[in-house]
Structure formats: structure tokens, C-alpha cells
A and B are shown apart, each in its own frame.
Chain A
Amino acid sequence: MNRLVWIALIILGLLAPYVVYPVFMMKLLCFALFALAFNLLLGYTGLLSFGHAAFFGSASYITGHLVRNSGLTPELGVLGGTLFAGLLGYVVGSLAIRRQGIYFAMVTLALAQIVYFIALKAPFTGGEDGLQGIPRGFLFGLIDLNRVYVVSGRPLGLNLYYFVFAMFCLGFWIIHRTIHSPFGQVLKGIRENEPRAISLGYRVDRFKLMAFVISAAMAGLAGATKSLVFQLSSLTDVSWHTSGEVVLMTLLGGVGTVLGPLVGAFTVVTLQSKLSSVGSWITVIIGGIFVVCVLVFRRGFVGELARLLKRSL
């Protein structure tokens, strides 16, 4: 994509907290990264995981635990959460890639439910309460992530915001690089025609597993960052609702496009926040939007736009 578009997006990201409520913006970024990680698997490898919340949520718990109970600095906590999610991705992926299509999705869902159950019952996760009051701490032991700056009368937690933005950019860059790498080319081949990729001599299971691990780790990075933003790891993070939400975000925005998950996550999170007053009806409204999307523009917002412009976005 055009270099100018990238620069414009980065500048927008840097200026956003001065315009939008920063905590809302950070939530957007976390879920956008989550959706981007998911899209690496669905859009570029053709694997539908129905249990991605397991990686998002478990990283959130691990980071929360490391920072709150072990007193690690936030960047080490996030690193720990991300690595754990990658490891969990290796275990889940090794089991799931033996099956294809709907069975693959069912295996990931089942294993994610096990993770949910552990989160509910294990002593170190806080059960129904979750991990509360996770301290944000000092980045590298130096920069206070709680620090609030007053800009034209508004208190802004800029240190935390820019930390989250940096994590998002790092995750985005890793995913983008993976898609546009020699490895990514083989992934596309597998998505397009798996038997042919095998007959060209590619051991597709290894490629799928590696893609799964990268995707899980990046979903973990999103979850880990989220736990610092809200100072909370809860059952919602590992629940199947969250797994479903990320599917919804990716499909709404446009599966297999670079910017689609970003747009999808922004849409869903914004709707959830703007419509929070209607209570549980929100699920119905988002469901309705999803139905319209599938019926009218199947490729998602960005997917349809890309088709109109005849270029990949």
C-alpha cells in the first residue's frame, strides 16, 4: 500500500488521544490488533479458529499475574503474556491442524472452552472476580504509565496511550511482515489450493502450525496490553463471546484485507460503546448489522472498497 497512507495513519494514531477519549482509543487498538492477528489465520491461511479468545484471555491473565503478584515491569509482563499465548497456540494448533474446515473450528472452540473452565476454577485467576487492580507500573522501571498530563483542561494518560500505540504498531508490523514474506506466499498458496501446495513439496502442516503460533502470540499481545489498560483480567476475555466477536470484526471489515480487521474492530467497539445505554439489545443490533453485511456486501467494508478501486487494501 501507499507509503503516504501509512504515514497518515501513524500521525492519526499519534494525535488521536487529543481528540478521542484515550481509554476508548486504547480499547480500539487492543481489539484491532486482536482482529488483525485473527485475520492472519482466517484471511491469509484459510483457517477459521473459533477459540481465539483463549489466547487473548490467557495472555491477559498471565500479564496481570506477572505484574501484580510477581512485581514485574509492564514490558516484561506483556512479553510473558505474549510468549505464553504463543506456547498455548502451539499446543492448540498441534491438535487442531490435524482436522480441516468445520472440524478445525470445533477443536479450537472445544480447547478454548477448556481454557475458560481453567480460568473459572483455578485459584490464581480470581474466578468470577478476575484479576482486579493490576498495576500499570513503570515502563523499563523508568516511565510512569499512570502519569496524567493536563492538556487544555483535559487530563490525558499519554504515557500509557503511547505505550499501547507502540505495542499495536509492533504487532501490526509483525503481522504485516508475515503476510508479505516468503512464508506468507506459501500461506496464500495453502489457502488457495492446499493439495497443490502439498504436491509442490510444501509440508503444509508445519506452515499452518507456524501461522497459528504467530497469530496466537499476536492475539496474546493484544490481550496482555488490554489487561494493563483496564487493570483487569476477567472471564470475558477468555469467553466464547470474545472469540465470536473477533470473527465478527474481521468479517465486517473484510477478511483477507490488511485494513479490514482494523475497520471492523473500530466499528464494533464504537457501536458497543455508543449503544451501551440500550443494554443487551446491543447484541441484537450488531447481529442485525452482521446479517445485512453478509447479505449486501459479503467482502466486508474494506473488501468491497478494494474491489471498487481494483487494488488490494
Chain B
Amino acid sequence: MAEYVLETRKLSKEFKGFSAVKDLNLQVERGHIHALIGPNGAGKTTVFNLLTKFLTPTTGTILFKGIDVTREKPADIALRGVIRSFQISAVFPNLTPLENVRLALQRATGTSYHFWRSDRCLDKLAGRAMELLDSVGLAEFSGEITGELAYGRKRALEIATTLALEPELMLLDEPTQGMGAEDVYKITTLVKQASVNRSILMIEHNLKVVATLADRITVLQRGAILAEGPYAEVSQDPRVLEAYMGVHP
């Protein structure tokens, strides 16, 4: 039996009688890039919010590395090594990219509650922060105001910030959404690089990206799994073609 880094059992979420997610059994294998796809309103982002505890499930359990984390708080799950990104770019706009990454690195130093110390004690993190920025091609922008960066660069910064925490499992919510072809290629490469030694669960609309990256794909429809398997298999499934691409075979 394969080892699952993340597993959900009969996970459900209801909003006032409407079930956004229904009896979901999702398994992410360690080391995989796992893609979650499905038409709009299929419940993909709800699943992410459940997994990262931004929403509380109505019923069901979530296991991370076999440990039940269903009742934990968002920050707890992050401390366990599950770091998420958001649909809209999640950066700190009025800080510099260097400060963005440093804020993630800072957590491990254990000084985050030290209000009596000068922030110059964070200078020692600058080297590692620059390395991470360099790895996503942002070294030359390290001192700019993040809010003024181009969209693709903000997404790249987000990945660098996430990587700073050395997560075991990265959850990426539409990392290439709203990007031009060139940026899509860049982010695809970055995700591929980032997947070394860790597992990734990503929501993605761009099927080309999914085809290139994903080891395994889960197709959601109306909060339930429609199909699951490797790309070649799933993309030929007639139910998927109909539901997801509107093609009637």
C-alpha cells in the first residue's frame, strides 16, 4: 500500500443545506504532484479551505501523515508543514519581497514574539532569503515594493515565501491563474522544482499545466469525485469530457 501524506475520509461540508463537498475520500501520495480539477463551483477551493482549517468540516476526518488533524486551527496545520497559497496572490504588498520571504524564515528563529529586540537581529536571514528569491528569479527585485510587482512575479514570490517554510505538503490554489503563456511556463518550472522531496496538491484550470506536472488527478464535480487517475486515463474518461470540457462524446 502506498504511503499517503494526506488523506480525507468521508469529508463533507454543508452551507445551510447546500453541500459544497460530499463524502470526499481524497488520498495524496507522498512525493506526488496531485492535481484537483473540476468545473467552476465543483468545490475545489472549499476542499482547500477545509484542509487548511479555514473552514470546519461538517463531518468526516482529515489525516496528515496518519494523524487526525480535523479539529486543529489554521496556524497549527501550518506548523505541521502544510502550507497553502491562495487564489488571489497572497503577498504582503507594502513590504519588500525580501521582507516577505524573511517573514516566513523568521518563524523558525523563535523570536517572533520578541518586541524588545531590534529587527536587525533578522539580518542574518537575508542570505537565505536572497537565495530563495534568486531561485524564483526575483533577486533583482528584492528591495522593491511588492505591491508594484507584475502579477507573475507576485505569484513567484508567493512560491518563494512558501518554500522558505520547507513545507512537507504544499497546497497551491490555481498558481497559473490569469497568466500569460510565458509566466505559465515559468511557474510550471518552479512548481516542478519545488516538488523535489515534497508533496504538492494543486488546483489548476490549465490542463496543459496539469498534463505536464501532475502524477495523479482527481476530478471533482458538485463536491464529489467524478474520476481519478493519471492524466492519460482521466482525460479520456467520457464522463470527465462531458462534465469538465462540455464535450459530448
Contacts and interface: CB of A to CB of B under 8 A. Distances in A.
A180 B165 contact: no
A309 B112 CA distance: 31
A185 B103 contact: yes
Given A178-B115, A182-B106, A189-B92, A199 B79 contact: no
Interface residues of A, number: 27
A202 B119 contact: no
Given A183-B113, A183-B115, A195 B90 contact: yes
Interface in A142-178: 177-178
B114 A201 contact: no
Interface in A186-215: 186, 188-189, 192-193, 195-204, 206-207, 210, 214
B161 interface: yes
A198 B90 contact: no
B106 A185 contact: yes
Given A182-B106, A198-B78, A203-B73, 8 more contacts: A182-B114, A182-B121, A182-B122, A184-B119, A195-B86, A196-B86, A199-B86, A202-B112
B75 A202 contact: yes
Interface stretch (B24-32, B94-102, B135-143, B185-193): B94-102
A112 to B, nearest CB: 24
Contacts of B90: 193, 195-196, 199
A182 B119 contact: yes
A201 B94 contact: no
Contact of A210 (B93, B104, B115): B115
Contacts, number: 98
B236 interface: no
Interface string B158-174: 00010001000000000
Contacts of B79: 201
Central interface residue in A189, A199, A206, by most chain B CB within 10 Å: A199
Nearest to B115: A183
Given A181-B118, A182-B119, A183-B115, A192 B73 contact: no
A179 B55 CA distance: 32
Given A186-B103, A192-B93, A198 B74 contact: yes
10 contacts: A178-B116, A181-B115, A183-B113, A184-B115, A188-B94, A193-B90, A196-B86, A199-B52, A200-B78, A207-B113
Contacts of A182: 106, 109, 111-112, 114, 117, 119, 121-122
A147 B1 CA distance: 85
Interface in B25-63: 52, 54
